[in-house]
């Protein structure tokens, strides 16, 4: 296990992130939780790959908005969070709720080597790089 890995319980749907990777295995509902591999390529019309836009030190990450098809944000299907991973172990997360826009804005000191992750409650974990 490594820091920032996301695990899901395939029985109850619980999702966790590893902060301290000391434990050898994470058990939920009597079985090991499953490591979620971040997807990078959209496989249907709906857009999931996070888009990173940089303006000075302001970094905006959106899901589908800049592609003309904002990801749904309904109670049944929505983006639960957007994360920005930046240099020097900088790590930022915006939690989202149904009804909000599928985007988040962050301010960072260094905009090189950015990565963004987002989590859709139905379609899982997605990542992209700037």
Which residues in this chain contact Fe ion in the complex, by CB under 5 A?
120, 122-123
From CA 91, how far away is CA 78, in angstroms rounded?
22
Q: Which residue is nearest to Fe ion (CB)?
A: 120
* Nearest to Fe ion of 93, 123 (CB atom): 123
* Nearest to Fe ion of 84, 120 (CB atom): 120
Q: How far is the CB of 122 from Fe ion (least distance, A)?
A: 5
Q: How far is the CB of 121 from Fe ion (least distance, A)?
A: 7
Q: How far is the CB of 63 from Fe ion (least distance, A)?
A: 8
């Amino acid at each position: 296990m490594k820091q920032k890995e996301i695990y899901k319980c395939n029985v109850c749907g619980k999702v966790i992130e590893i902060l301290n990777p000391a434990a050898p295995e994470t058990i939920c509902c009597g079985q090991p939780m499953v490591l979620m591999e971040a997807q990078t390529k959209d496989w249907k019309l709906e857009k999931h790959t996070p888009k990173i836009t940089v303006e000075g030190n302001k970094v905006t990450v959106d899901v589908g908005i800049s592609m003309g098809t904002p990801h749904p944000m309904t109670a049944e299907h929505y983006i639960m969070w957007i994360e920005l991973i930046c240099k020097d172990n900088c790590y930022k997360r915006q939690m989202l709720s149904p009804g909000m826009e599928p985007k988040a804005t962050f301010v960072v000191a260094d905009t090189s080597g950015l990565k963004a992750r987002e989590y859709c409650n139905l379609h899982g974990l997605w990542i992209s790089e700037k």
